[in-house]
Structure formats: C-alpha cells, structure tokens
Homo-oligomer: A and B are copies of this chain.
Amino acid sequence: MTETEHSTRPHRRRRDAPAAVRAIDYAHLANRLPRAEVFSADRIAAIHETALRVLEELGIRVLLPEARDLYRAAGAPVDEDSQMVRIGRDIVAEALRTVPARFTLHGGAPGRDIEIGGDALFFTAGAGCPNITDLDRGRRPGTMADFTDFIKVQHGFDILPKLTAWVEPQDVPIAVRHLETTRAQLLLSDKVPFVFARGQGQVEDCFAMIRIARGLDEASFRDRPSTLTIINTNSPRQIDKPMARGIIDFALWGQVCVVSPFCLAGAMAPITIAGALTLSHAECLAGIVLGQLARPGAPMMYGAFSSNVDMRSGAPAFGTPEHIKTNIAAGQLARHVGMPWRVSTGSASNAPDVQGAQETLLGLWGALLAGGNMVTHAAGWLEGGLTISQEKFITDIEALQVVAEVMQPVACGPDELGFKAIAEVQPGGHFFAARQTMERYATAFYEPFVWDWSNFGQWAEAGSRTATERARDIWHQRLAAYAPPPVDPGMRENLDDFEARRRSEGGAPPLD
C-alpha cells in the first residue's frame, strides 16, 4: 500500500459510530507554539529606540484639545498651532509601567470571560465591513437584519468568544446605530460586546447599556472590563478626535482599548518592514500613553495591523510575506514593552475563493507565530474589510477550530505509546478493531463541519458542491439553530427604556 493507493483497500466502515463529543474548550486557548523572530533582540531595541526618537523629536499631531491637555500636564511639549505633541521617553516609560500585563475581559456569564495576556489566545471575526455578500444575494450594503443574523450565528461558535460589529447596518441612522447594535449584542448573546469609539456621546450610551445588561453600577463597571474597542491612529503620526476621545473614555471607564495603528508599508508608513514598525510602534505608544494618563492602570492592548500595499495601485494586501513578517516583528515589540497584544489576519480577495482562504490562513499563520493574544478579522473578511462573506465566515471557522485543536496537549502515557495495540495487530493488518481503537474512536479526532471527506463518487453524486457552497447551507443551518441566552425580562425592559429615551433625544451623532 502506497500513499496514493489507499482507496483500493477495503476499509472496515464504521457507520455505527456515534457523533463524536469532544470536550475541547475553544473559547479559552493557550498558544503553545514557539514564537518566531524576524529581528534580533538588538534590532528590536533599535526599533523601540527609533520610535521613542520619533515621539520626542518629531512628535505626533493630536486633534483633540483635551488629549493635548493630558499630554501637556504630563510634561510633554505641545504646540497648539500645529497641534503637535512631543512625548518624552520618561512619559512613555511611566505609561508602560502602569499598563497591566494581563487582565480579564468579562462576558455576561462566567464561561464567557476572556483572559487577556501571556499565552492566552482568542480569535474574532471580521469586522467593520460596509458590505456583506453571500452566494444567494451577492454583494450589497449591510443592514440591521444582517447584523442581527451575524450575532446569532456567531453566538453559537465558541471559537469566537468576543462579538464583532461585522457589518455596518446602513439602514439605521448613524445617530442611533450604536443603540441598535449594542442592544442586539446584549440581548442576542452573552459574549463580550464590541463598541466603536465614535465620540463620547455614543460611547457613554453603549457603556450605560452594558451596565444595564450586566447589572453593574458605575463604580463596579469601572473595575470590570466588559467591552473592547479598536483605536486606529491616523497614520502617519496623527490621532484624530474620535480616536483620542475613545482612548480617554475607555480608560476612564476601565474598559479595554486596543491601540492599533493601521500602518501599511509604502502608503501610510515607510516602505521597509522595520520602518513601518517604527511608525506603528511610536503611534501605539502615543495612544497607550494617552490612556494611561487618563487613568493609570487602565486595561489596554498593544495593537499592530501592519501589512504592505500593492505598489501598483496602493491597495492594501494581506497574507503577504510582508504582512507575516511585520506581524512577527510586532509580536517581538509587544513583548519588548510587556503588553498583551492584538494582531490581525485578513484578505484582499473579492470572493470567498481560494485566494481568500490562502490570504487569511497565511496571515493567521503569521499571527500565531507572532504570538498575538487576540487575532482579529479571522473569519469572513474580504476586500480588505470592505465586505464580509457569510460563506467565508463559515469556512474560516473550520480552520480556526483546527488551530484550536492543535493547541491542545497530547497524551503520551503507556497506553497511548501503543506497544500493546501494535502487538495485537498482525503485520499487514489494521487497527480498526483494536482495543485501543474501540476505546477511543468516537472522540479521538477532530470532526470537521465544512470539510467533506467522502470519496469522489459519493461527492459527485451529492452534487459536486464546493466547500463554499456547503458553507452557504451551514450558515443557514446555524442561523436556524440559534439558541438565545437567558435574558432577564426586567433587564430587557430597562434596556428598551434606555434606548427609547435616547432615541427620543435624537441619539448621539458621531464625533468628527
């Protein structure tokens, strides 16, 4: 029997096998892989040093006056005309001293908590997409119905312990959109919700709703990280008003702020990997400083989302060698400053095809080698985030579950070593009926939910459907099978009342 002759061998089929029940906790993972390195320790120190020089010699433009006040009060020279802030290395060092190395992000039920820091690892779905696509309806602007469907489907996948705002519900007015999306997250799931930093009005509304849903008063909310936002600086060297406001508000309320410059090498950042990271690191540190100045000890994550652009068009690219290497080096920098960190995969493909799968998986490979604690845009993202695909969401989850399984330890005791099993089976025989097999077969292996291992004849007879076509059905099955978490009627009423009041007040327009 050779590698390609297996199908000619009559396998004893095990059609009576029960559905495997594997007790793997996909929501709480540890990255057991070694960390890769792109740069030697002295080069990482050089990038850190250069970033400090950027902050103290060149400075960063901060558009929000209150943020400039915070920097100034800490001793940073501020030029109000140019809005430039120069941040000395002592200020950076103090922020890195007060920012926590690990913390817990709390969900609506005990099993929904997420540990952040160390080797802890979790994945989040693609987010922030204006458009949605699926095989039936094609590409279209996102709606609130799409947003709601997604929360329901995501709720059922433990591998995604934090909700994401995967699609912009463009049928909801912008001033009340945050109310609707936060309400949907809190009522349809007990997982950690996501909040956009689009101005103090919206953030305060969302925080109030989370307090209602979680039964927290203001004081206990401040000590219980219960939501997370992503802050993209305006590379190069700029922090706009909503971003600065978000950093301050999240810090003041003790909620998690991830400072993630979106530094695309060759576009908003230097074309070299080291240079893009120098800028990304400097901007990230500026954001961390702002949060720690607002409230020392506030839970924050280091963020890096650097890749390269297509130098012919300026379009962002993902899963590229440069993306992977930048991720790995960003991990070195995050560890250099001792912070938990966010990394990202992604895809620039226009379809849920092999390109999309490859880009996302190669980016994921880099993210895991890099040791990121939170891997974002890990399912469904297309077109560099302009569109989310229902089918790609499903197929990407298969890969994430495989990764989660790889992170589980493997038993290697006397029975697993297999001497008795090997002695039991004659040369040229098979192990299907061995005692060791019979004791383990129902739960020994990961069972995929998208991958189809039937033979070609069976597969052709069943319609020759690709993984993406099967994923379409799986999406609808998962949506139909949605089981809501228990929701206290009083809580729901309070949430409804809050939303009604804020709607009647006109909601909160985003900060420009």
Q: Which residues of B contact A453 (CB under 8 A)?
A: 310, 313, 315, 317, 348
Whether B325 pairs with A410 at a CB distance below 8 angstroms is yes
- The stretch among A102-110, A154-162, A260-268 that forms the contact with chain B is A260-268
- Whole-angstrom distance between the Cβ of A165 and the nearest chain B Cβ: 10
Contact with B along A346-370 (1 / 0, CB 8 A): 0011111111111101100110010
Cβ-closest chain B residue relative to A128:
B4
Give the residue among A268, A417, A459 with the most B Cβ atoms within 10 A.
A417
Whether A4 pairs with B314 at a CB distance below 8 angstroms is no
A331 within 8 A of B: no
Q: Which residues of B contact A451 (CB under 8 A)?
A: 348-349, 355, 358-359
Other than the given A1-B232, A34-B35, 12 more pairs (CB < 8 A) read A46-B417, A237-B422, A271-B440, A272-B444, A275-B418, A311-B442, A348-B451, A353-B468, A354-B466, A357-B358, A357-B361, A358-B395
A320 within 8 A of B: yes
Whether B418 pairs with A351 at a CB distance below 8 angstroms is no
- Whole-angstrom distance between the Cβ of A63 and the nearest chain B Cβ: 10
Known: A17-B311, A421-B270. A3 touches B46 (CB 8 A): no
Contact with B along A387-409 (1 / 0, CB 8 A): 10000100100110011011010
Q: Which residues of B contact A144 (CB under 8 A)?
A: none
Copies, count: 2
The size class of the interface chain A forms with chain B is 35 or more
Known: A427-B237, A427-B238, A453-B348. A4 touches B272 (CB 8 A): no
Known: A47-B412, A313-B13, A418-B275. A236 touches B429 (CB 8 A): yes
Q: Which residues of B contact A38 (CB under 8 A)?
A: 410
Q: Which residues of B contact A408 (CB under 8 A)?
A: 321
A15 within 8 A of B: yes
- The stretch among A175-183, A431-439, A501-509 that forms the contact with chain B is A431-439
Instruction: Give the distance in Å from the alpha carbon of A349 to the alpha carbon of B47 in the complex.
Output: 44
Known: A319-B402, A402-B324. A431 touches B268 (CB 8 A): yes
A92 within 8 A of B: no
A137 within 8 A of B: no
Known: A39-B412, A395-B354. A1 touches B324 (CB 8 A): no
- Whole-angstrom distance between the Cβ of A64 and the nearest chain B Cβ: 14
Q: Which residues of B contact A452 (CB under 8 A)?
A: 349-350, 355
Give the residue among A15, A43, A321, A468 with the most B Cβ atoms within 10 A.
A321
A300 within 8 A of B: no
Known: A234-B428, A314-B432. A4 touches B385 (CB 8 A): yes
Known: A54-B422, A279-B422, A410-B38. A270 touches B6 (CB 8 A): no
A residues 312-341 in Cβ contact with B at 8 Å: 312-317, 319-322, 324-325, 329
Cβ-closest chain B residue relative to A36:
B33
Q: Which residues of B contact A365 (CB under 8 A)?
A: 361, 365
